Structures are given as C-alpha cells and as structure tokens.
Amino acid sequence: MKLLCAVLLISFGAFAQEESPATAPPPGREQARSMIVTQYGIVAASQFLASQAGAKMLEAGGNAIDAAIAANAVLGLTQPYVNGMGGDLFAIVYEAKTGKVYGLNSSGWTPKALTLDYLKAKKIDKIDARGVHTITVPGCVAGWDALRRRFGTKTFAELLAPAVFYAEHGFPLPEMAARGWITQALLKQPGYRETYMPGGVRPRLGDTFKNPALGESLRQVAAKGRDGYYKGKLAESLVKFLQGQGGAHTLEDFAEFEPEWVEPISTTYRGWQVYELPPNGQGVAALSMLNIMENFPLKDYGHNSAAALHVMIEAKKLAYADMERYVGDPRFGPVPVAEMLSKDLGKRRAALIDMDKASCKVLPSELSANLDAHGRETIYMSAIDKEGNIVSLIQSNYAGYGTGMVAPGAGFSFHNRGAGFDLEPGKPNSLAGRKRPLHTIIPAFMRKDDLAIGFGIMGGWNQSQAHAQFVANVVDFGMNVQMALEAARFTKGTFGGCDVQMETRVAEAVRQELARRGHVIAPLGGFSGAMGNGEAVMRDAKRGVNFAGSDPRTDGAAIPEQPAVPALNAQR
C-alpha cells in the first residue's frame, strides 16, 4: 500500500510538472478588456450605440467607409458635447486592395468677410472663445459626402437612418455621457437649454433623450445630400441665425465650401510607417515626437519608467514648439513639413534633452497663454471591414458643445474652432477670411509588413502626444491595441513650463523621480478623461483576421460585424 501511494505521488508530481495548457493557471492579465478578434468587420467608437450602428451597416453589405459615416452620425446625437453636424471632420482611409492611404481634410473656413481689419473696425481685439466669430463653416457633412462619393456604397438615406431613428425615438443616457451632458456656462447661449435640457430638466443616467430637430436636419441631408446642409432651407436658417448673433457668415460661405483630399504625411519609427494628416492639423507634432524618441532606447528603459516618460515629455515640448512656430493653413503660406519631419532634425532636437533635468523654457512664455487648450471635446472612431479597408476618423466641436449656440430647429450646436486663431498679424495661424485655423484633431494610421492599424486618441493638444505614446506602446513595448489604449498616460496641455498631468497608475516612485528631475506632476485618476480616449482597429493581412480595442475612459465599445448565418434545417 505504501509502495502504491509512493508511485501515485511520484506520478502526480510528474503530471503537475508537465500539466497541459488546458489545466495550467491563466497568465497574468495586464489589461481590463479583451481585444475584439474576428474575420469580419469591426467598428470601434466612443459610444456603443454608434459602434453598433456601424456594425449593422457592415452586416447590410456596407464597407468600412459606410460604417464610419453611420457611426459618426449617431455619435453626433449620443455625444453632442464633443461632436456633431456643427463641427469639423478629418479622416484617413486605407484601401486594402491597393495598399494606398488617403487623407481627407474637411475643416471649415472662416467667413470671407472675417478679417483682422473687420475685427479692428468693430474694435474687437480679442475673440470671445464661445462667441459667433469662432464659428467657421462646419465641415462635418461635407466630409461625410466626400467619403461616401469616393469610397462608399450606401445612400445617405441608408447611412443616416440609425441616427434619425435614435433622434426621434430617443436613447437612454449612459454613464460617461450623463456626467458631462450639461455645461452650466452655456445655459444662456441661444438654443442650448431648449435643445439639451428639454422641459428645463437636466437629463441624467438612464433618462431617455430625444432630439427630433436633429432628426429633421439629418433627414434634409438624407434627402438632398450635402446640399441639404450647405444650400437651401437649412443653410438659410443657419446663416440667418449666425448673422443675428453678429456673425459675418453668408450663404456663399456655406455653398462654396469644399473639403480637401490631401496626401498624408509620415515618418518611420523602428521599422513601422506612421501616418498623420498634413497641416493645418497638429499631426506633424506626433511624427516629430517619434523622430526624437527614436534616438533613445525606450524598450530598455521600460514602459512608463522615469527615463522613458522623461524622454517623451521632453520630446513633446520640442515637437510642439516647432509645430506652434510653423503650422497654419498651407493655402495661406508655406509650411516646412519636410524639414520638420527630417531625421536629422529629430537627432538635433533629441540632443537638447538633458536626461537628468526637465526643460521648462522650450517656448517663449507668452505663447502658452495663447495656445493653452480652449477645447478638447472631440470623438475619435475607427472602422474596418472584412476586406481589410480601414477608416480612421475624428470629428469635433472643439470646446464642450463648441459655442453652445443652436440655430432654431437645427438640433446641433456650432463648434468654436476659430478660437484657435492668432489675432496678431503675420503669423502662420493669423486670422484671415476663408482661412482654416490650426487644428488639434488628427486621425492616425500605422503599418508594417502584413499589419495595418487605424488609431487615434482625442483631446485637444493632448492628441499628438497621446498618439506618440500609443505608437511606443505597440512598437517599443509589444502591446496589443487594447492594452496600448488602456495603458496609463501623461498629458501636457500647455506649451511652456514643466507642468504635466499623469494618471496615478504610473507608479508613485516613478512620479517622484520625475519630480526630482524637475517635472511638476499633477496626479489624476487611474483612467482620467484628461488623457483623452481612443479607439483602434488592426488588420493582419497574412491571416485575414481583424482586431480592435476601445478605450475604457469613455462609453465606447468595439463591436464586430455578425456574418450572415444560414438557418439550419430543423429535420435531422
């Protein structure tokens, strides 16, 4: 008996040492959510009803472009504080069959009459950040139209149907939306209270919100395309309202606006090609950051180590200094993008980083006051279809609800993107008629060999620095797209100084070491909205598999397409 027991113990010990993967304890988990993995399409958006609407468009035979438009339209209803028909839009489209990458800039221009002389004649030396002069012609609907005409397969009536349905039938407010639904400072803005506080009561978590006026505006576009917004009845109503607020807008400013197809700019980062859109956006700063970061062994330093974070924070300051100095609307003056993206410049800027001391004077101090973030209210979303086509799309009101001004019967607020203009003449971003301001919102894309990733992270001046952190998470630290979005981040909304905000999931010892080097750390919550929120989709072309991640810092979700499943024969 003793011998049998001994044999059994030895046998058990051997089994324990050679246990199969099925019985082995699960590996440690470093992320809160799992990636979505499928052979079919996925839509990753910052609100789950929008993701679902996009996925349904894929199931109805649409492609990634169709899905992106449908999802974005729903986001304008469910997250009106960050985007909508009154804002601007940028997108990067990856066409799988050709491998080509396309860029769309649908940021609106100022009224033709709105010039520095115009403001001077009215004795205006400072633009009210929520005033009518910050309202450029919204580019969102024109962006939808440009995407649909070039790449889409569905009609506007099909694409906008989900948004119209929810606008007219209502939807219950989810957690994050309910927290930020009303901006108290906007309650006196014309049309705001009536639109977003129906009956004078603030909607709360679980309350059903309807916006039939927005449904009617969407119906105009569904019936007449872009002309349903930029010409005719709706345009006349919008322009009349803006003029009534003292604006210089005309019907011609709306009717003549066109988005621009642009060539994306890019750089390499340790073998990956990373793409952004060219100026008038800030994407060049993300690529400049990567060129600087490439000169340091971040992988050896370790993820979110003091050394790695120090390099990235200092790279941010250097890249943003160049961006502020040179970037404006390229239609009004040359922007030296090639020089800004040169590897030689990256090396020279990297050499300025003192690994033991933070630099607090990269920019003249007076510039910080001008460019400190007026707004960070934006959505980012991405979509991928079963063929591997990818849309990386960002859309924004700038500040929360933008101006908060809502024209009678429109159902959406106008953005305040023009608050970013410089009122000092002779600068790249100086105000002028029919000019586009320096933009914060940027979509992104990266690829290497058989892998292609559409990604973005919203949040004002946070975006370029967040993009660079995401890329480093994937490339330097081997994270999947979900983990790369979830990982603790830093952000610096100002241009000068040593202040930086950081999530408390970064180890306290690391934060203390950064403080020793001169960084002034403002600790924020573990998943802080100040870091922005993002989405990402990835194509593995070799295996024909799609992946997606969604940032837990918002109400978002990545939702896969459900394939058409044939019914089973009940008889056996």
The stretches of 174-250 forming alpha helices (DSSP H) are 175-179, 192-196, 212-224, 227-230, 232-244
Of 345, 287, 275, 359, nearest in space to 317 by CA: 359
Exposure b/e, 26-40, CB count within 10 A at least 16 = b:
eeeeebeeebbebeb
98 Cβ contact list (under 8 Å, min separation 6):
none
**Cα(212)–Cα(200) distance, rounded to whole angstroms?**
16
User: Is residue 10 within 8 Å of 17, Cβ to Cβ?
Assistant: no
Residue of 308, 342, 312, 336 whose CA lies nearest to 323: 336
Distance from CA of residue 23 to its chain's centroid? 42
Single-letter code of the amino acid located at 115:
T
Catalytic (active-site) positions: 378
**Under the phi-then-psi rule, with left for phi > 0, alpha for psi from -120 to 50, and beta for the rest, what region is 423?**
alpha
Question: Residues 303, 473: contact at Cβ < 8 Å?
Answer: yes
Task: Specify whether the CB–CB gap between 105 and 140 falls below 8 A.
Answer: no
- At residue 161, φ and ψ (nearest 5 deg) are -55, -45
Count each helix (H run) and each strand (E run) in the chain, helices first: 21, 19
Instruction: Report the chain's C-alpha Rg in angstroms.
Output: 25
Residue 314 CA to residue 298 CA, distance in Å, equals 13
What is the rounded end-to-end Cα distance, in angstroms, of the chain? 53
Beta bridge partners, 445, equal: 275, 454
Q: Which long-range contacts (CB under 8 A, 24 or more apart) does 355-358 make?
A: 355/307, 355/310, 355/311, 356/517, 357/517, 357/518, 358/310, 358/313, 358/314, 358/498, 358/514, 358/517, 358/518, 358/519
Exposure string over 432-461, b if 16+ CB within 10 A, otherwise e: bbbbbbbbbbbbbbbbbeeebbbbbbbbbb
Q: From edge to edge, which strands make up the β-sheet containing 260-262?
A: 260-262, 100-106, 88-95, 390-398, 377-384, 42-45, 557-560
- The answer to whether 337 touches 319, Cβ cutoff 8 Å, is no
- Classify residue 198 by its DSSP letter: G
DSSP assignment, residue 529? G
